[in-house]
Structure 1
Amino acid sequence: MFQQLLRSTKLHPKTFKLIRNYYTVKRKAINDEHYVAKHITQHIQAKGPLTVAEYMREVLVNPMAGYYMHKDMLGESGDFITSPEITQMFGEMIAVWLINEWQKAGSPRPIHIIELGPGRGTLSNDILNVFNHFKVLHKASLHLVEVSPFLSSAQARRLCIQSNLTTNDGPAYRRGISHHGIPVFWYNQLEDVPPGFTLLIAHEFFDALPIHKFHKVHGNFKEVLIDIDTKDDPDIKGEYKFRYVLSRNDTPMLQVLITKGETRDHVEVAPDSIRISKLIAERIKKLGGVALICDYGHFGTGTDTFRAFKQHKQVDPLMMPGTADLTADVDFKLLCESFNSVKDVLCLGPVTQRDFLLETGLEYRFEALKNTIKDAKHIANLTNCYNYLTDNDKMGERFKFLAVFPSVMKKIFERCPVIGFQAAVH
């Protein structure tokens, strides 16, 4: 069945856009770019040093001036770029893969397509285009988990013919109708999404979840905290400056998150990733479906990965908080353990983005699109996009894919293996 879908995609290349078109969202002016730094300083003065997790929450989702709350950070004019923003080929491969797994499960309806942290809505838009092409949107709905009012508005403009903020008559804070005629809903958390057969995508979602950092000193772990830097530096006069310090005593999270036998000297753990992965697993087990997680990360070997990006360059995460993206590599080993802690769930992967995309047919899709293009510059652009997704020194090796299914699918997978994964069950 997967090959039939792939051949159909090759036979109809003109139904999809050839080159990704960027659009901009009008930025809402922030009157004081030091607002977050002032807020953090006041918090530390009142209550003492912050954990890195508390610092990340303030920087990223502070309601007044958080990095994600009031600006368009994606694309060439932003601070970073994601695979769906590079080329529609990425979203097309995800969509064909999802359709294939949905068909293996018997093509149940209704379908709940869920994306966690949808950015501009680009990936969801590409998925809906492919689903519409293969006529599988009957009794389908799109559910977006997004905490940023600014980004939800941008997503609505891209995805919907009309949308409106809702009153307090349900968990969705915004509702709309997509260009394909299916309902679209926005929520603040996954728990609010109503039940239904689930096709869930989390692309570059887990890397933004707040982490706790721990450092081993003389054989014992201490939590890394963030304090005000009181050093008198004439070069930064009038600015707010912060520094890392170590906790004097064992913190509550240190006692909970550091496991016995940990051999690394520096450890980062995102408690929300454990909580959300268990929610995903429970949903897939009870309601059926699949979850596909794609992010950059490691398999339990990462150490000090906390960093910030501004205008596509790495910067000090403690400088000018609220003006740069904060991120940390995802621990896929921890994710696998969390998924597998839920009974009757099957976890596949992680596999590299290169292996996943090539096995799902990206090369064939690339050649099909290239054969429809006459302009040499467009061909060069498409080629660069393809290489950026797959080259090991770019996104190909660094990004990983993980899939979660109900364990009742295991017998089906013995006859029809999951495309993109080498039956890697953790």
Structure 2
Amino acid sequence: MCALKITRSILWQLSNYTLLQAQTTTQTIANSIRFYYTVKRKVAKDENYLSKHLYDKIRIKGPITVAEYMKVVLQNPMQGYYMSKDMFGEKGDFVTSPEITQIFGEMLAVWFLNEWQKIGCPKPLQIIELGPGRGTLSSDIVNVFSHFKALHNASLHLVEISPVLSDIQAGTLCLQSSLNNNKNALVYRHGISRHGIPVSWYKQLKDVPEGFTLLLAHEFFDALPIHKFHKTYAGYKEVLIDIDNSEEKEYKFRYVLAKNDTPMLKVLLKSNETRDHVEISADSLLIYEQICQRLASSGGIALICDYGHNGTGTDTFRAFKKHTQVNPLVKPGTADLTADVDFSLIRDIANKTNDVLVFGPAKQKNFLQRIGIEHRVKALAENMEDKKDVEHLNSCYKFLTEESKMGERFKFVALMPATMKKIIDKYPVVGFV
């Protein structure tokens, strides 16, 4: 049976799996998003806390890299953006595809099931998600796997640094969960999912045990710290962040160029680089290597989805607050910081050893349509009696696939062990051809 027929078979079997929807109003996603429980913590908020911290750091140390700035702003234990708030949804700063409709998660689950079936459904099975947000995507995927009775000898592993988000993920995914009192333990939280499989939380991917893996990273790499380089008449210089004393306003920051070559300039920048602006995430490169090593040594399939480019992007560092783009250097810690993912670097890492095959990047529109999202939408619409439900469904579908929305900007890349090449040659990877 060809790969496409397998996918359609899975979609047909999924036809009696109902779409549970909760509707609300938001201008951001066509007046429809999903509703979630959130954790409310009593934390004294000082919007200038990180500004003061960064100001003092730069005053003592001198200008810092954009990567260091991002790490402080996003990951500071006290009031880092990801460490102290729930930033998703209508009341947050941005919305992701899984928040719009569970069809997105269903389709990714169908894709994983399809590719997993081709190689005989190896067990035990580890499902890993990097940066799982509210746990929405993992929940949707596990639900579909449960529907197909594919969770025997399976476990879910979440890589998450935020205590707030891990609380929310536990509420979404688990019947019960608890924190590990041993601060030195690799697993800092563990629980049992609503389908009875073990769920574990880690700070780093390298802490997750080896084993056959289905790995998913959705809008994860765009938030990892980047180093910025700018081409000048004297060659490339790293972009740094310094205190701006040009105005009387307190805690104002500005971009400056390093006077001398920085260590990361020497390590990260390619000798044949020609772009005027270059952004490279050293943390991302390390995790790409870890993913490739895991797939090569223990087997598995990885799927990465993010907004990005294939080695052509330039100046993409930006911030979002309340669904609006803002200045990344103003009130650090109150807005999300992000930069486009360079998918060409994933291929570079994989090609170093020839142990991993890379597919894509494919536009989200093309990927979802190739794996049959329109068939799923049509089947659901035929079983809906309320016209408003059908309109909502179609609105969600358009938001995911239209090029003016998420269809073109977001892209998918898949990674698989080179040992699967004979199978892939016979049954090509769905979504990329």
* Same structural fold, with TM-score higher than 0.5 when normalized by the shorter chain: yes
The Cα of 1:240 is off from its aligned counterpart by 1.6
Q: Distance in 2 between matches of 1:231 and 1:375?
A: 60
Q: Distance in 1 between matches of 2:353 and 2:48?
A: 43
User: In the alignment, what sits opposite 2:406?
Assistant: 395
Q: Secondary structure at the match of 1:243?
A: strand
Gaps of 5+ in 1: none
2:20 to 8, 17, 20: 17
The Cα of 1:18 is off from its aligned counterpart by 4.1
User: In the alignment, what sits opposite 2:194?
Assistant: 179
Q: Please tell me whether residue 7 in structure 1 is matched to residue 12 in structure 2.
A: yes
User: In the alignment, what sits opposite 2:93?
Assistant: 79
User: In the alignment, what sits opposite 1:286?
Assistant: 297
Q: Distance in 2 between matches of 1:153 and 1:342?
A: 38
Q: Distance in 1 between matches of 2:136 and 2:353?
A: 31
The Cα of 1:151 is off from its aligned counterpart by 0.5
Q: Distance in 2 between matches of 1:404 and 1:31?
A: 41
Per-residue CA deviations over 1:139-195 (Å, capped at 9, x if unaligned) read 000000000011001100000000000133741000000000000000000011012
Gaps of 5+ in 2: 1-5, 23-32
Cα contact 2:292–2:355 (8 A) shared by 1? no
Letter in 1 for 2:411: K
1:204 to 219, 222, 229: 219
Q: Secondary structure at the match of 1:176?
A: strand
User: In the alignment, what sits opposite 1:259?
Assistant: 270
User: In the alignment, what sits opposite 2:126?
Assistant: 112
Letter in 2 for 1:221: Y
Q: Distance in 1 between matches of 2:44 and 2:112?
A: 40
Letter in 1 for 2:36: Y
Cα contact 1:13–1:368 (8 A) shared by 2? no
Q: Distance in 1 between matches of 2:8 and 2:419?
A: 24
Q: Distance in 2 between matches of 1:39 and 1:18?
A: 43
Cα contact 2:37–2:168 (8 A) shared by 1? no
Q: Distance in 2 between matches of 1:206 and 1:340?
A: 19
Q: Distance in 1 between matches of 2:102 and 2:291?
A: 26
User: In the alignment, what sits opposite 1:319?
Assistant: 330
- Alignment length (residue pairs): 416
Aligned structure 1 segments of 4 or more residues deviating by more than 4 angstroms = none
2:231 to 211, 216, 225: 216
Q: Secondary structure at the match of 2:353?
A: coil
Between stretches 410-419 and 312-321, larger displacement belongs to 410-419
User: In the alignment, what sits opposite 1:333?
Assistant: 344
Letter in 2 for 1:329: D
Cα contact 1:142–1:184 (8 A) shared by 2? yes
Q: Secondary structure at the match of 2:228?
A: strand
Q: Distance in 1 between matches of 2:340 and 2:284?
A: 12
Spell out the pairing of 1:242-391 with structure 2 (5 A cutoff).
242-391=253-402
Letter in 2 for 1:327: T
Percent identity between the two aligned chains: 60
The Cα of 1:23 is off from its aligned counterpart by 1.6
Cα contact 1:281–1:342 (8 A) shared by 2? no
Letter in 1 for 2:10: L
Q: Distance in 1 between matches of 2:113 and 2:133?
A: 22
2:68 to 37, 54, 63: 54
Q: Distance in 2 between matches of 1:344 and 1:64?
A: 41
Q: Secondary structure at the match of 1:341?
A: helix
